[in-house]
Chains A and B, each alone.
Chain A
Amino acid sequence: MHIKLKIFGKGILDVSPLMIPVVPFGIIFGVIGMELGIGPYMTFGMSIIIFGGASQIVLLQLFSGGASSLVILSSVGAVNSRHLLYGAVLSENLSSLKLTWKIILSYVMVDQAFAVSNEYFKRNKKNKNKHYHLLAAGFTCWTIWQFSTFVGIALGSIIPDEFGLKFAIPITFLALLINDFKKIKNVIVMLASGLIATLGYNIIPFKAYIIVASLSALLIATFLTNMKLKNK
């Protein structure tokens, strides 16, 4: 038990620095949920049920723009498709666990938890209790996310509309991309996605511009990846 507790503590410690940007992100989500009139219960419910910041904001954004449920669902799926990669990378380390463990760990496997636990797993391949690290990192993210959503809901009923907090949505997503600004191939993919979404906003039916733009940009990414492999 002592060993498990120690690994659990290590998970909390490792993920903590990554929690700093999660706080404003969660607050912004809560504030925007209130500003769009979703109400405190549903805004908080989204954080509990979905527990995926970027997809929650996409849900709010598309819902307020009058998109259909099908478009909203597929956009949320597209935004979260990056988790497929996380699962594929971690599956090797989690394959021997019971189904209950896999369900719990899947629920909390967010970007930050994946990042630190993947590093920990690489260094502790033979440790039988290493999944406690992911559990701790994931639940730290969960707690911080719920707390900051709550603060955002409280603030959302105070902050006046004139502050234009809707602008916090593009700025927050922009901040999530800063590590890729120096990679030319990523910048090409970003520009393609952004231009297709902007120019197609009024042309693409059913508000499906996010899906159409991101799939087109992923095709370009595939093309760029192929080029890279050939160069080797």
Chain B
Amino acid sequence: MHWSLIIYCGMITFLTRFSMIALLKRDTFNEKTKIVLTYVPSAIFPAIIFPLVFLDNNGFIELESNSRILAAIIAIIVGYFSKNIIATIFSGLISYWILIFLIAY
């Protein structure tokens, strides 16, 4: 890791926040673009989540005895019903630890 990479990432992040406030006039985006931008988290986060859950350390799909899949499903169920971020994180992590330490799944 180089400091330069961190600084470039910081500059890009800043520009995504600054550009619209500073450079553009109001109503730059039409309604449709605004709706599509609300999908950004749904479009990006699963691309991070799925490989970490379904792939093993060598990048191969691991479906059998994969405790991450079960723990993620439990977290999804808890999140769906509770709508509570902290409950979701803890249910996922704790069920993962129970699976790998106690059940050795």
In the complex, which residues of chain B have a beta carbon less than 8 angstroms from the beta carbon of A76?
Answer: 9, 12-13
Contact with B along A48-82 (1 / 0, CB 8 A): 01111011011101010000010011001111111
Using CB atoms, name the residue of chain B closest to A173: B45
- Evaluate contact between B71 and A193: CB separation under 8 angstroms: no
Instruction: Tell me the count of chain B residues lying within 8 A, CB to CB, of chain A.
Output: 68
- Residues in A lying within 8 Å of B, measured CB to CB: 20-21, 24-25, 38, 42, 45-46, 49-52, 54-55, 57-59, 61, 63, 69, 72-73, 76-92, 94-95, 99, 102-103, 105-107, 109, 163-164, 166-182, 185-187, 189-191, 193-198, 201-202, 209-210, 213-215, 217-218, 220-222, 225-226, 228-229
Residues of A with C-beta under 8 A to B7: 49
User: Which of B46, B49, B54 contacts A217 (CB under 8 A)?
Assistant: B46
* A55 close to B13 (CB less than 8 A): yes
Interface centre among B42, B55, B80, B89 (most CB of A within 10 A): B42
Residue with the highest number of chain A CB atoms closer than 10 Å, among B16, B82, B83 = B16
In the assembled complex, which residues on chain A have CB atoms less than 8 Å from the CB atom of B19?
84, 87
Interchain CB contact (< 8 A) of A180 among B1, B42, B53: B42
CA distance A25 to B89 in the complex (A): 9
If over half of B's interface residues share one DSSP class (helix, strand or loop), that class is named, otherwise mixed; here it is: helix
Beta-carbon contact of B3 and A45 below 8 Å: yes
Q: What CA separation (Å) do A137 and B86 show in the bound complex?
A: 21
**Complex formed: what's the CA distance from A45 to B3 in Å?**
8
- B residues 24-75 near A (Cβ < 8 Å) are 24-26, 28-29, 32, 34-55, 59-61, 68, 71-72, 75
Q: Say whether, besides A81-B40, A106-B17, A214-B47, A175 and B9 are in contact (CB < 8 Å).
A: no
User: Which of chain A's residues have a CB closer than 8 A to the CB of B6?
Assistant: 42, 45-46, 49-50, 59
